[in-house]
């Protein structure tokens, strides 16, 4: 608005040829700032859209050519056969081909939370729904926008404009500073107008700017508008619109880099919260370990096999029972190529390990499955920690096979099968012998899985409502056990130590045996020799679950390892830690982990082993299931906060200096050294380019040497206040001296007043810009004395500083008409650069000044707090 008035009046009074400079320059500067800011914002929004597409790119299993292969949900076609298991999202519309105990949560489509059971009578499946229980296979009948879910989603668009807590806080800070700037600009406007209309303002040639009764209305109006333009520009500089932009930039930059570090951010706010994490509750399998499981020990019929696949001494009846249980009681599959090549095993890592071992002991997967028919399946779940299947083996008998956590299956066994196939009762001594074998395997960090079975007559099987039949599980015969090795991931030990140094406590929460968990924790560095001696920090989920709420809170902070935990135990641990003031990050992969992931401050789901339900409940998806990636997320979370603080320090320094210089000059002399166009250029350096330079700093090793940032800690720390005041006071003092005494210092007595003022103002403008360029380096390292360390590694920062410097030279030397500046002699150029460069040694010395531990804001609140005087009766202890 000011530019339009300035342009029209300038052209009217000075002609088109010379009158367009002021208004045109302001127009150009305004549009440049808008263009750069809008382009930057648009680029970030494109990045967020790209990340949103990544979130929707769900990987599914498809059976093609009889073989299970991985595929993107976008690559599914009609006619594909898709296997489904607990926790999966139904990827397309389809028809159930086969399945056992398949239950679907259709609440996303129907709005009703009732679980719907699917069978031949109700075979239709809708995309977007979740598998709540069981498993099965579906034939795809509709994909994309041809599905019910697709048609619904086509009419909706996900809101990616989520405002994070830090953005909300910074918007509040920006609003507060803007109000202060608006107030200051209002005062300056009133003072300058009073000076102007009372004849106390002079033109550049020294004559009085406004003389009542003499100055024409058009000229007077033009003068008033030029003053209004200055006030508007002070508001432009004072309002730090770069603060929210800096958050957007650093979040987008961090999210992009985190994708390279195998972490997909689903909720923006988690980027910031992760920097405040004080504890990480991590799963064992696949996160701390490689999730590449192999059977390394086996006990069959009370005998240890050596090697583990040597079943030569086992009778054929025992071997056939065992392979029947392995082949039928599984959600995995074995694909045998027609060309006679090696068999390919599909399924979860545990299933693959057991099936691979079964093949080694002579199992023919397809042949075994064809000899008996499945009547009822109870899929494995993390609560019972075992799974069962009922198979009809003849016209009269049914075998019920169980497989699961060794000590739990053992507790249900009343007998055991010997090498020759004879059944013996489970004596006390035999029970202890088997229990010792389980403990020995667990202490060797092996996962122990036991196999058991029982026989029942076909007449005992219900003819109707077979899905409601509870399989017998309390009078079993033990077949054998296997020990599965899952080695620790390389680099996990170093990552755990890095977390400890950063003040982040790592806790292992696993469904495995306590002894197995303890051995792995020791291997990963979560436990050390001192910790292993202390049993208080190693606990079983059942024990923790049965404690009172108060007792759980007291114990939770001491727990390092929790074994045999259910998903509900993990939820209780998270709640107890949060009540004790911890910021909790939790990893999870199963459907039942969803409540704990949702409850945690930061939910981290696993990209490879995680179910879709777990992923949807999480804030960040760890794409490679690796614990070292979790530590990288902590590092990036701290980097977001640190980068914002760097920018705040830089921005507030410029704000304070520019405001004070212009206000003091305006009130004392009626003129400002920094005009509208110059201030808009400073605004561009300070807001958009400054945000780009400082908000994209990569994380440093020092970030992981600090303790987590508290949620309530002030954004502007005492160290930042110290740096800000030192730099701002230096700039204000030096530039005001040159503003008021520049003519004498530069020996401009022989120059006309107008030209001398232009040289002085140009020098002040040039020196001010170079102060900001050098101060950008100081802002990079708020706490370190050496501000130049690692600066060359950030090419974007160096590029922006270089571009700003080149543009400043062009403005002074070639664009003076537009900016109201004149060319400077080389001595004044050197002096401008020298004034800016002094900020480096000043910062070096300033960082030696100690700062109080108590936040500066607390002192302000204390000083500004109004206290009601106590009445005499109160002083005497009386009641009012």
The catalytic residues are: 283
Of the candidates 566, 407, 408, the one whose C-alpha atom is nearest the C-alpha of residue 473 is 408
Q: Which helix (H) or strand (E) element contains residue 762?
A: helix 753-780
The dihedrals phi and psi of 98, each to the nearest 5 degrees, come to: -150, 155
| Count of beta carbons in the 10 Å neighbourhood of residue 530 | 7
Other beta carbons within 10 angstroms of residue 457's beta carbon come to 9
Beta bridge partners of 99: 136
Residue 359 · residue 311 · CB < 8 Å = no
The number of beta carbons lying within 10 Å of the beta carbon of residue 69 is: 12
Joined tokens for residue 561: 């390892």
- Respond yes or no on whether the N-terminal peptide bond of residue 747 is cis (omega within 30° of 0): no
DSSP state of 871: P
- Residues sharing a CB contact under 8 Å with residue 106, sequence separation 6 or more, in sequence order: 112, 114, 116, 126, 129
Q: How far does CA 134 lie from the centroid of its chain?
A: 32
Rounded Cα distance, 543 and 547, in Å: 7
Q: How far is residue 858's CA from residue 119's CA, in Å, rounded to a whole number?
A: 65
DSSP of 302-340, one letter per residue?
Answer: TEE-SSTT--TTS-HHHHHHHHHHHHHS-S-EEE--TT-
Contacts of 54 (CB under 8 A, 6+ apart): 259, 264
Report d(CA 826, CA 805) in Å as an integer.
15
849: left (phi over 0), alpha (psi -120 to 50) or beta: beta
- Are the C-beta atoms of residues 559 and 582 closer than 8 Å to each other? no
Residue of 79, 92, 89 whose CA lies nearest to 129: 89
Q: Please tell me the distance from the alpha carbon of residue 347 to that of residue 352, in angstroms, as a whole number.
A: 6
Contacts of 237 (CB under 8 A, 6+ apart): 181, 654, 655, 658, 659, 679, 682, 683, 686
Dist CA 13 CA 18 (whole Å) = 9
HEC assignment per residue over 143-201:
CHHHCHHHHHHHCCCCCCCCCCHHHHHHHHHHHHHHHHHHHHHHHHHHHHHHHHHCCCC
Cα–Cα distance measured from residue 326 to residue 303, given in angstroms and rounded to the nearest whole number: 19
Q: Give the ranges where 309-455 is alpha helix by DSSP (H).
A: 316-328, 349-360, 365-370, 406-411, 428-443
- Would you report the helix, strand and coil content of the chain in percent, each value rounded to 5? 55, 15, 30
Helix, strand or coil, per DSSP, at residue 703: helix
């Amino acid at each position: 608005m000011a530019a339009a008035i300035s342009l029209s009046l300038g052209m009217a009074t000075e002609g088109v040829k010379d009158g367009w400079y002021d208004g045109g320059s302001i127009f150009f500067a305004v549009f440049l700032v808008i263009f750069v800011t809008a382009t930057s914002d648009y680029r970030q929004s494109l990045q967020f859209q790209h990340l949103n597409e990544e979130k929707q790119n769900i990987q599914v299993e498809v059976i093609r050519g009889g073989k299970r292969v991985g595929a993107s949900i976008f690559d599914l076609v009609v006619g594909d056969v898709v296997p489904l298991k607990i926790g999966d999202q139904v990827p397309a519309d389809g028809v159930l081909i086969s399945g056992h105990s398949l239950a679907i949560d259709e609440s996303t489509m129907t709005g009703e939370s009732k679980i719907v059971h699917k069978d031949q009578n109700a075979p239709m499946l809708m995309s977007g729904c979740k598998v709540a229980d069981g498993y099965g296979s579906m034939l795809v009948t509709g994909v994309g926008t041809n599905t019910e879910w697709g048609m619904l989603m086509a009419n909706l668009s996900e809101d990616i404009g989520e405002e994070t807590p830090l953005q909300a806080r910074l918007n509040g800070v920006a609003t507060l500073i803007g109000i202060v700037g608006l107030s200051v600009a209002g005062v300056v406007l009133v003072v300058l107008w009073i000076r102007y209309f009372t004849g106390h303002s002079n033109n550049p040639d020294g004559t009085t700017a406004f003389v009542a009764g003499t100055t024409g209305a058009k000229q007077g109006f033009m003068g008033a508008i030029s003053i209004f333009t200055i006030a508007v520009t002070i508001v432009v500089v004072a309002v730090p619109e770069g603060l929210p932009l800096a958050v957007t930039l650093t979040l987008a930059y961090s999210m992009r880099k985190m994708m390279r570090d195998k972490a997909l951010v689903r909720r923006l706010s988690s980027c910031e919260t992760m920097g405040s994490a004080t504890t990480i509750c991590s799963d064992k399998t696949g996160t701390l370990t490689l999730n590449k499981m192999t059977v390394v020990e086996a006990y069959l019929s009370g005998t240890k096999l050596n090697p583990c696949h040597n079943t030569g001494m086992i009778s054929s009846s025992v071997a056939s029972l065992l392979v029947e249980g392995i082949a039928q009681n599984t959600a995995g599959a074995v694909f045998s190529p027609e060309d006679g090549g090696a068999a390919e095993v599909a399924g979860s890592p545990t299933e693959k390990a057991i099936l691979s071992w079964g093949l080694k002991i002579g199992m023919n997967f397809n042949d075994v499955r064809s000899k008996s028919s499945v009547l009822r399946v109870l899929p494995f779940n993390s609560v019972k920690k075992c799974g069962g299947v009922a198979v009809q083996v003849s016209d009269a008998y049914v075998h019920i096979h169980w497989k699961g956590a060794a000590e739990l299956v053992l507790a249900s066994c009343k007998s055991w099968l010997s090498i020759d196939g004879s059944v013996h009762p489970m004596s006390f001594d035999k029970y202890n012998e088997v229990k010792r074998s389980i403990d020995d395997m667990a202490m060797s960090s092996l996962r122990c899985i036991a196999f058991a079975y029982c026989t029942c007559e076909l007449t005992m099987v219900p003819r109707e409502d077979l899905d409601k039949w509870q399989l017998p599980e309390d009078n079993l015969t033990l077949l054998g056990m296997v020990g599965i090795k899952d080695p620790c991931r390389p680099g996990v030990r170093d990552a755990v130590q890095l977390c400890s140094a950063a003040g982040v406590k790592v806790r292992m929460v696993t469904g495995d045996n306590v002894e197995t968990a303890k051995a792995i924790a020791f291997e990963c560095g979560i436990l050390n020799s001192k910790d292993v001696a202390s049993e208080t920090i190693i606990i079983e989920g059942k024990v923790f679950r049965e404690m009172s709420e108060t007792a759980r809170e007291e114990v939770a902070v001491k727990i390092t390892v929790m074994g045999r935990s259910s998903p509900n135990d993990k939820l209780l641990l998270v709640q107890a830690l949060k009540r004790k003031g911890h910021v909790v990050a939790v990893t999870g992969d199963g459907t039942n982990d969803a409540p704990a992931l949702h409850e945690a401050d930061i939910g981290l789901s696993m990209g490879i082993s995680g179910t879709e339900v777990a992923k949807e409940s999480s804030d960040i998806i760890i794409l490679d299931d690796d614990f070292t990636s979790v530590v990288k997320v902590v590092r990036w979370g701290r980097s977001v906060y640190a980068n914002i603080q760097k920018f705040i320090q830089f921005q507030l320094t410029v704000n304070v200096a520019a405001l004070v210089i212009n206000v003091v000059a305006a009130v004392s002399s009626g003129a400002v050294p920094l005009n509208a166009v110059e201030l808009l250029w400073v605004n561009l350096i300070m807001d958009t380019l400054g945000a780009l330079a400082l908000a994209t700093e990569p994380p440093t090793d020092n970030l992981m040497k600090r303790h987590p940032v508290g949620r309530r800690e002030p954004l502007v720390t005492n160290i930042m206040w110290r740096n800000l005041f030192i730099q701002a006071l230096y700039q204000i003092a030096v530039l005001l001296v040159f503003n008021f005494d520049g003519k004498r210092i530069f020996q401009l007595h022989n120059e006309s007043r107008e030209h001398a003022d232009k040289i002085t103002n140009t020098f002040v403008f040039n020196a001010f810009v170079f102060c900001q360029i050098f101060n950008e380096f100081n802002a990079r390292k708020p706490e370190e004395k050496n501000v130049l360390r690692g600066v060359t590694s950030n090419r974007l920062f160096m590029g922006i500083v270089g571009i700003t410097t080149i543009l400043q030279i062009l403005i002074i030397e070639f664009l003076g008409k537009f900016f109201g500046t004149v060319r400077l002699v080389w001595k004044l150029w050197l002096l401008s650069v020298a004034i800016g460069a002094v900020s480096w040694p000043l910062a070096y010395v300033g960082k030696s000044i100690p700062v109080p531990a108590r936040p500066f804001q607390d002192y302000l609140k204390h000083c500004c707090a109004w206290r009601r005087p106590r009445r005499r009766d109160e002083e005497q202890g009386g009641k009012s």
